[in-house]
Amino acid sequence: MEDGGPVASEVEGRTTGLVRLSEIELPTRLGERYDFLGIVDTLLQQASFHIRTSRRLWGVNEASVLLLASASIILGSWDFGIGELAGGGDWGRSGILGEDSGFLHLNEWTRMLSLLSAMAWISSIALLWIRFPIMRENFFFLITGMFAVQLGFIFSHASSPDFPFNSEISDWGGVVFSNLILLFICWFVVHRAVVETRDVHVEERHAHPDPRVVEKAWEDHKLHAWSSSLAIWAVLINVMSWSGSHAIADRPPIVDGVLGYSLLFVFSGIASYFFLLHVLWYPHFMLGGGEHQIWSSRAREVAGENSSSVAQSIQGSCPVCGGETPVTKRPSGKIEVRCSDPECKGQGKSGDACVKCATILPSRVVCPSCSSNTTVVSHFSKSEAW
């Protein structure tokens, strides 16, 4: 999509000549025939850009993450001829430590594979944590949501091993509750934080006197494909959690094989890590690897970014003559304009209705000094960094 500012320093040399999202032609024209299919054109265009850009920028670090994640899933779910999983183990034992712990009574080779799986998983998480610093807080929430869904399916399978078949309404409690947690994290925490940070980034870094340049910047920073990746990741987490729980839910003796469920767990798990990598990488790339901390506007307020000790409101200045204009940038990065009605003293975001008189607030402002008519964002324009 957009390298919005200098892309992360470690890939700076490879970003030269990168095509922008607005420069990608629509691969299909379905929206010209049916308006409701316009979103398909948009998604295909952005997917084409994401694939092209990731092929250019992804390297050893991303490959290492995927390899370690894949290894952790395979090592933790495959018997390799040992027979521990295939036989169902001793379901009467549980726990990790102690004389009666289930983990310590595992076959030695199974225990070794379990430890290797845990080490590979922790290593992949650590690499992602180091690789995408501005997404760390959101990464933590996503991992929390992933664990919640896995525990929810385990809880539902504990009372109904064949879940969701032959299940009662009470058996759905764990899955429903955990998915509500995942939905809240994905939509109201992560998605909102990235979108609102994107808005601040475009308003601050891509302000320009020419409205066509500003419009192109918004085109470059669209997030439809990224939002789709987040949704697909959430679906894959459910598939992985269900298949993994289903494969080990039966009590021995196990009559039917679990190969199909195990394969589904492995493939859905590896695919989920691929989409998680994309979900973390794209905002990091879009925002230049550290220009903004990815928070929602509410989180910025809680963190104190809106306090006077951190930032102050800035009065706009005419891009033509430099005179003061009735436009204000708040510490959060939000730009407010005064109502165009001379009898009204209200102000707010351009395009919104005035809270006092309900008049639509203007997107362009006439300078009181030189009478030039320019866009609101151009009153805070500054030179680009790239």
- Residue 240 near residue 261, CB atoms below 8 Å: no
Contacts of 10 (CB under 8 A, 6+ apart): 289
Q: Are residues 279 and 364 located together in one domain of the fold?
A: no
Number of structural domains (the chain) is 2
Residue 222 shares a structural domain with residue 180: yes
pLDDT at res. 123: 96
Assess whether 358 and 275 both reside in one domain. no
In a domain, 63, yes or no: no
Residue 107 inside a domain? The answer is: no
Per the structure, the complete domain to which residue 287 belongs is given by: 9-57+132-297
Residue 282 sits in the same domain as residue 348: no
End-to-end CA distance of the chain: 15
Same-domain status, 234 and 171: yes
Other C-beta atoms within 10 Å of 88: how many? Answer: 16
What backbone torsions phi and psi does residue 124 show, to the nearest 5 degrees?
Answer: -65, -40
Please check whether residues 273 and 340 belong to one and the same domain.
Answer: no
Q: What is the pLDDT of residue 231?
A: 97
Successive 10-residue mean pLDDT values, the chain, 386 residues: 39 57 82 82 91 91 95 82 57 57 64 87 95 92 96 89 86 93 95 89 74 82 94 97 84 62 92 96 81 64 48 73 80 76 77 77 84 82 42
| Residues in Cβ contact with 175 at an 8 Å cutoff, skipping those fewer than 6 apart | 149, 152, 153, 155, 156, 163, 164
Domain boundary among 239, 268, 297: 297
The pLDDT of residue 18 is 75
Predicted local confidence at residue 332, as pLDDT:
60
Q: Say yes or no: 156 and 242 in one domain.
A: yes
Residues 147 and 182 in one domain: yes
Q: Which pLDDT does position 359 carry in this prediction?
A: 80
Rounded to the nearest 10 degrees, the angle between the axes of helix 192-205 and helix 211-220 is 150
Residue 138: both structure tokens together? 């959101």
Which of 247, 272, 297 represents a domain boundary (last residue)? Answer: 297
The pTM (predicted TM-score) of the whole model is 0.72
Secondary structure of 3-26 in the HEC alphabet?
A: CCCCCCHHHHHHCCCCCCHHHCCC
Q: What does the pLDDT read at residue 79?
A: 66
